[in-house]
Chains A and B, each alone.
Chain A
Amino acid sequence: MKLTRRTLLGTMGAAAAASALPFKAMAASQSIRHFWWGNPTRDERTFKVIEMFQASHPDIAVQGETIGWGDYWTKMATQTAGGNMADVIQMAHTYIHEYVQRGGVVPLNDYIGNGIDLSHYDAGANDIGTMGGDLYGINIGATCPSIPYNKRVFEEAGVEFDPLAWTTDDFAAACEKITSSTGGAVTGSEDLSLYMETFEIFCRQSGADFYTADGKLTMPVEEVAAWWQMWKDLRDAGVVEGKDQTVQLDKGMADLGLIRGTTATTFRWANQTGALQGLMQDPLGVAIVPQRAGMQSGHFVLPSMFLCLSRDAGDVPAALAYIDNWVNDEETLKVLGIDRGIPPSQKGRDILAPQLNETDAMVVKYFGDTQSQILSTPNIGPKGSGEVRDSFMRTGTEVVLGNMSPQDAADQFIHDAEGILIRASR
């Protein structure tokens, strides 16, 4: 028995070690790890970039690590806790503040112009990645809010509108027209009342903001109530999706009425248009988020992804070389395409212009056409703002289900949000 077990343990260990060994990075004097969330297309592009980088930098070995969005954050948190973060990591605007405020990623100020060249970037392109005067996340793809709409349905219903300048009233009229002309088979829009991202634009149209620059909650309770009231009216009129679909939160693309063919519009970040189009047969158009009559624009641009240097980065110069190559090398930019967002520099956009497909070209055009309507970059939320977003969806659900009036729910939400922020700041 002793023999059996020992032999087995021995062979097992050896087999496991042997199978892991060949995959270890080959001898290079420096080595870094790059971790991103991906999908088959993005992974292919990124590994190609790594391959190209290694060809031009034979002394730096790069290990690419990737997994889907949902699992990425679990693994990231675990690696962070273990002090084993990859050197270069990809961040999203919904998470970057959590890591910055806890010291998971380090400031890049000292390296800008001194290792990383960002001189060609659009003015303000790195504002959101900058917190407290320090740059933490380099914008590697910009995006902006958009309303993707089913062109066929809009045309067949005879909706005529200016996708770059329409009001909430135009939007309501369009919903009504679509719903009635299809006999209710297709409703005008997904019920966006629980989308806090869309509400942010609505809120900013009135001149208000979610948070102050130092992270205090400034969201006016009247705006919250007005937002939920607006959607309640649309719901009551029966021209947007019913409560059944609405109360499912954080829906993936596959669950959207737009993809299923039951609604004509929804809200998404503009860079996701191509992915949406890939899942449906009708052609898509993109429109700006409707504006409230007599108010200012609430439109803004933000990075869909950041490249960050992690706290655990061992070989900083190698990581900097890799990041610099990523944002500057023409061939690299060509390979990356607009998969991660629209390049935040004229140079990047010029390089990509000839290779864009129809949908991508439409998105880039939309991005350019709406530049004049950009208000300002919203302030990034404090620790706990992710939880505030959850609370927004939960309290809003009560309105959708008819358990609470918009006003009561708004009061309750603001009250809860303040509690959440106090708890998170401890």
Chain B
Amino acid sequence: MTDTTTTPVTAPPVQPRLAGLREVWYYFSHSRGAVIGLAVFVALVIVALLAPWIAPHDPIFQYRDKFLTPPVWQAGGDPRFIFGTDAIGRDILSRLMHGARYSLLIGAVVVTISLVGGIILGLLAGFFRGWVDALIMRIMDIILAFPSLLLALVLVTVIGPGLFNAMLAIALVLQPHFARLTRAAVISETNREYVTSARLAGAGNLRLMFRTILPNCLAPLIVQATLSFSSAILDAAALGFLGLGAQPPIPEWGTMLADSREFITRAWWVITIPGIAILITVLSINLIGDGLRDALDPKLKRS
């Protein structure tokens, strides 16, 4: 399926799209929650990028005489370890900072895989309809018939525990949402005038799908991608909690939590603090997602 067409396609002109972006930002920036979310998220990204330089300690270095040191504000705390140390004397703050890298990476990788996969499948289904559509959508139904976490859990058990495998499994279970969204959007767009005119101008299938139709279905996909980013982080943490996520000594937040369960009555900080990190990250992304949805969805826009 080579696309040799060179005819310029009269898709929606570029100018309004830029204006659209500006409009989106206008609405987005007027939502206080969204802006706070974005600020926190940017801060997290900075921490993650700079972790090796700004973390006070090596995240895997074990201070052998400092097992389970409480946070600095509690009796017995050590000013060197602001959030205390874990069961084998590693600085929790440094582990959290490095852990941010993994959580954000998980979100980014999972969203990329499931978004790309979902878009391709959705486009194929919505564009060709018929048996292609039926086949793809039934497969999506099958995936959705299982509780996502259970399916991811079995998948990881099959392909082996580990961070990358966990990401693959989560991407697979999140992917049907993208496929369904894309398909619905494609079906509603296919009969629009600009698509027909592009087709008449001789645009090939690939070009029609990716250059003509796709850009016009992006809004719901962006919102879904943001939501999936946060579910990916939560699901990866849950898999880590069930012992199937990141492998040691990687400071992934969910794994940090799972490793500390036995200290539930003795050292509250080793459990509480990683959880707060997960909550803040997910919350900030969901705030952004809400802001984006309000900004992109004309129905709820303030008139």
Please say whether chains A and B are actual partners in one complex: no
A interface vs B, CB < 8 Å? none
B interface vs A, CB < 8 Å? none
